[in-house]
């Protein structure tokens, strides 16, 4: 086999390995998504609001400073639209 042919075989092996790893990870991701869906369904079944839980999970992913900045902007927009309730 020529050197170029040998090198392309090595490249093809590396490419195949990467593709197979990605395929395995995608399958694991689907399994994790199914597990998450089951947990949300279980939470709904016990009376929790899944949409609210999703919002809490998303907020917990963000650092506190980012959450505070987003809340301030949201408060400003709501106040501008007359949607903000009086402070208690």
By the 8 A CB rule, do 14 and 24 touch? no
The better pLDDT of the pair 9, 64 is held by 64
Please, which pLDDT band fits residue 86 given cuts at 50, 70 and 90?
A: low
Dihedral sign for Cα atoms in the order 87, 68, 76, 78: negative
Please, which pLDDT band fits residue 61 given cuts at 50, 70 and 90?
A: very high
CA distances from 60 to 4, 7, 51, 73 (A): 52, 48, 14, 18
């Amino acid at each position: 086999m020529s050197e170029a042919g040998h090198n392309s075989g090595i490249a093809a092996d590396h490419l195949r390995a990467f593709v197979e790893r990605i395929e395995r990870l995608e399958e694991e991701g689907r399994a994790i998504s199914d597990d998450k869906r089951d947990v949300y369904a279980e939470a709904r079944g016990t009376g929790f609001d899944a949409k609210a839980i999703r919002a809490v999970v998303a907020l917990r992913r963000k650092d506190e400073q980012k959450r505070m900045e987003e809340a301030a902007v949201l408060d400003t927009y709501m106040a501008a639209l007359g949607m903000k309730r009086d402070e208690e």
